[in-house]
Structure 1
Amino acid sequence: MSKQLKESLTVSPFFLLFLIHSTQTGVGLLNFQSSIVKGAGQDAWVSVLVVGLSFHIIIWLMYYLLKKSNNGDLMSLHQQLFGKWIGNVLNIFFYVYMLLVITTIIRSYIAVLITWVFPYFPIWLLSLILLFVITYLVFGGFRVITGICFWGIIIPSILLFTFYFPLKYAYWTNLLPVFNHSIGDFYVSAKNCILMYSGPEFLLIYFPFIKNNQKSQKWAHISQAYTTILYLFITFVSFGYFSHGQLRHITWPTLMMSKIIRYPFIERFEYVYIFLWLLVILPPCCMALWGGFRILKESFKFKSRKSLWFSIIIVHFMVISVKSKLDVERIGTFMTYVTSSFLYFYIPILFLLLLVYQAFKKAGRLGGN
C-alpha cells in the first residue's frame, strides 16, 4: 500500500490536471509538426491520436505500480522488487533520465532564443540564467512547483486564440487523401510523437504528494485527454496552413505561424510567443530537477540542498556541451529512444514483474498456512 504524506505537503488531486499537462507541453509544441510529417504525411494526425490514447494505458499501469509500492514512488518499488542494491542502481538510471530531460528542454529553448532573439549570446550565460530561475522555484518545494504548473498553463493558453489567424488562410485539402499510408509510415510518425507526450512519468516520483492519491486517477486521464486534444488541434491547424513540403523544411512551424500576426502596438508577435514560452518550459524543468534530487534523497539519504546543487552543476555542463544545432537534434533523437523504451517497455516489464512478485508472495502466505 502506497504511503500518503501529511496534508501540509500535499496538493489536491485536481491539480494533477495541471501537473501532468504542463510537463507534456514544452519546446516540442513549437516544432513537433516537422517531425511527425516525415512519416505518415497528412495522415500523421492519426499517429498523434493513437499515441495520445496509448498514454492512458501507461498512466493506468503507473497507478497500479504506485498503489502497490511501499512508499508510493518508483524508488521504493525498485527496492521492493529487486532489493536495496540493484534497486538503487535502477534509481540512479532514473536520476540520469531526469537530468537528460531537463538538459534537452533547456538546450532546445536556448536554441530558439539564439535563433530568433539573441544570436550572439553565449550558451553558458543563457544556461546559467535559466537554471537560476529554475533553482529558485525548486527551492520553494513541490507546492510552489505545482503553482508554476498552474500558471504555466493558464497564462500561455491565451496564445491559443492567436491560431485564428492561420486558420483564416488554411487549405483543408492539405489533409487529403486520408488513410493512404502504410503501417510503417504511421509508426515513424508515432515514434516522433512520443517525446512530446512525455511527462506523466514524473508521477512516479510525486505520487505521495497527491492528497487521496488512491482516488486521483481520473484527473490524470482528464489531463492526458486535454493534451491529446490540444496536439490534435495544433496538428490540424499546421497541416492546413503549411503544405507537407514546407513542414519538412521548417524548423519551428508554430513560431512561423505567429509571424503573420500583426497588431498596431507590436510588430514581431513571435517574440511574445518565445518569451511567454519560458512559462511553458519551467514546469517540466522544475519537476525534473526536483525529481532528480528527490531520487538521491530517498535512495541514498543525501541532503536536499547538496543533491540539488550537485544536479544543477551536472545539468549546466551537459547543456553547454551541446554546441551545434545538429547536436540538439541528436540529443532529441536520443531522448526519443530513451523515453519510448522507458514508457513502452520498462513500465510494462515492471508491471509483469510486480504481478509475479505478488503471486509468489501470495503463494508463500498460503504455503505458510
Structure 2
Amino acid sequence: MKNAVDEKYLISPFLIVPLMYVSMVGVGVLNFQHEMAELAGYNAYISVVLVGISIHLILWMIYKILSSNQEGVDVTAINITCFGKIVGNILNFAIVLYFFFAAYIEFYAYIEVIQIWVFPSIKILPISAILVSFIYYTVSGGFRSVTGLSFFGLLMTLIFIIPENLSVLPYTHPLNLMPLFNHSITDILLSSKSMLFQFLGFEALLLFYPFIKSPAKSQKWAHLMVLFVTLMYLMIIIITFMYFSEGQLREISWPTLNMLKIIEGPVFQRVEYLAISLWLLKNLSGISLRLWCACRGMKTIFQIKPRASLLTFLVGFLILEYFLKDHSIFLWISECYSDVGLYFIYGYIPIMFVVTQVRKKWRR
C-alpha cells in the first residue's frame, strides 16, 4: 500500500540512525554517572546493559505495533482506531504533552549547563530567545530539516565528543571497578530507572514512522543505533568510574565535563567549553525532534497547523523559563517526566503491542 505521506517528505531508512541517536542522547550524558553512582556504586554499569537490552525489546514491539496497521499511519491514528475518537484523542493529547515536556527539559538543562560552566552571570531570557529562534527555524522547515540537523549532531559526537572521552584513558585506574558485584538487585533496579531517563526519546519513532521510506527496512538500523548508544553510555560510565573514586563521584555534579578539564591543547585550554559549544547542535536537534512530534500530534487531534502549535510551544518555553526561578521545581518536573516515561515505555507500549496483535488476528 502506498505511504500516506507525500514522497517528497520521506527520508531513506538509513537516516533513522541520526534521529535515533539524538532522541536517546541528551544533556544527561554529561552528568548521568553522578546519580547512578549514588544508587548502585560502581555496579551501575550493569544497569546500562539491562536497560539497553530492554530498549531493544520495546523497539521491536514498536515496529510490530506500527506495521500491524495500514502503511502510513502513526500511533495517534492507531489510538483512535483501537480506542475510539474520544479516548484515543485523550491518549494522543497526553502523548503531545509528554513530548512537549521532554523537549522543555532538554532545553532547560542545556541552558543550565551554559549558565554554570560558560557564562555564570548571563541573563537567561536573551539566550533562551536565541535558542528558541534556532528551534523554530529548524522545526518549521519540516521533518527533513530536523533530520538534517540530527545528522550534524551525530557527526559532531563521532568527531569530537567520543575521542575527548577516550583521551582520558591514560589517567584512569581500572582497579576502581573492583569488587564487581557488591550491590543488591534493588540498587541495580533503581539505578536502571535512572538510566532509562537517558534513553527516553526513542519512542518518537511512534510519530515519525510514516515519514520513513520503506519503514520495515529501517528496523535493523534502529536496533544498531540502540546498540551503539548503549555501548557509548557503557564506555563513558566505565571511564568515569575508573577516573574518579566513588566518594569523588558522589560530590561531582558534572563528571563528564570535569574529566575533560584535564585535557589541554595549544588553542583550547578549556576543552569542556568546546564540548559544550559543539553539544549545541546535538541538543537543538533533540529538542527539535521532540517538538516536531508534539506538533504532529496537535495536527492529528485538533487539525492545527504545525507552525501555529510550534509557536505556542516555544512561547510556553519562554514563559516557563521566566517563571521557573526555583531549581527544585525543574527537578520535580524532571522526576515526573521520568516516572511517566517509565509507564509509557514499559506499560503503554506493551499494552498497545498486545491490543494491536489481538486486533490483527481478530480481523483475519
Q: Secondary structure at the match of 1:179?
A: coil
Instruction: Identify the residue that residue 48 of structure 1 maps to in structure 2.
Output: 48
Partner residue, 1:79:
80
Q: 1:357: which partner in 2?
A: 359
Q: Counterparts of 2:167 and 2:73 in 1: how far apart (Å)?
A: 46
Deviation at 1:163, TM superposition (A): 2.2
The equivalent of 1:189 in structure 2 is 191
**TM-score normalised according to structure 2 size:** 0.95
Is contact 1:99-1:315 (8 Å) kept? no
Q: Which residue among 151, 168, 181 is the counterpart of 1:166?
A: 168
Deviation at 1:214?
2.3
* Equivalent pair of 2:68/2:360 in contact (CA under 8 Å): no
1:275 paired with 2:291, answer no
SS at match of 2:180: coil
Q: State how far apart, in whole Å, the 2-side matches of 1:347 and 1:298 are.
A: 20
Q: Percent identity?
A: 38
Distance 1:83 1:326 in 2: 39
Partners of 1:105 and 1:320 in 2: CA distance = 16
Paired with 1:236 and 1:14, the residues of 2 have a C-alpha distance of 30
Which residue identity does 1:54 align to in structure 2? S
Structure 1 residue identity aligned to 2:124: I
- What is the aligned counterpart of 2:294 among 292, 295, 310? 292
Contact 1:37 1:244 (8 Å CA) reproduced: yes
Paired with 1:324 and 1:260, the residues of 2 have a C-alpha distance of 32
**May I ask how many residue pairs the two structures share in their alignment?**
362
Inter-partner Cα distance in structure 1 for 2:267 and 2:21: 32
Output the amino acid matched with 1:103. Y
Aligned position for 1:116 = 117
Candidates 189, 201, 204, aligned match of 1:202: 204
Q: Cα RMSD over matched residues? A: 1.6
- In the alignment, the residues of structure 2 paired with residue 65 and residue 318 of structure 1 have an alpha-carbon distance, to the nearest angstrom, of 35
Change in CA separation of 1:154 and 1:330 when aligned onto 2, cut-off 3 Å: same
Distance in structure 1 (CA, Å) of the matches to 2:317 and 2:87: 25
Counterpart CA distance in 2 for 1:36 and 1:148 is: 30
Q: TM-score, normalised by structure 1?
A: 0.94
- 1:332 offset after TM fit, Å? 2.3
- Residue of structure 1 in register with 2:315 after alignment: 313
**Is the contact made by 1:48 and 1:228 (CA closer than 8 Å) also made in structure 2?**
yes
Q: Match for residue 366 of structure 1?
A: none
C-alpha offsets along residues 156-193 of structure 1, whole Å, 9 cap, x if unaligned?
A: 32222122442111111111101221110101110100
Match of 2:64 in 1: 64
Give the drift of 1:4: 4.8
Deviates most, 260-269 or 105-114: 260-269
Structure 1 stretch 120-129 or stretch 213-222: which is displaced more? 120-129
How far is 1:221 from its partner?
0.2
Deviation, 1:359, is: 4.3
Deviates more, 1:110-119 or 1:327-336: 327-336
Gaps of 5+ in 1: 363-369
Give deviations 1:271-321, integer Å, cap 9, x for gaps: 101111111211210011111111111222112221221222223223333
Structure 2 gaps of 5+ residues are none
Distance 1:346 1:118, change over 3 A: same
- After superposition, the C-alpha distances for 1:217-244 in whole angstroms (9 at most, x for unaligned) are 1111001010001001001100000111
In the TM superposition, what is the alpha-carbon distance from 1:208 to its structure 2 partner?
0.5
Residue type at the aligned position of 1:52: G
- SS of 1:155's equivalent in the other structure is helix
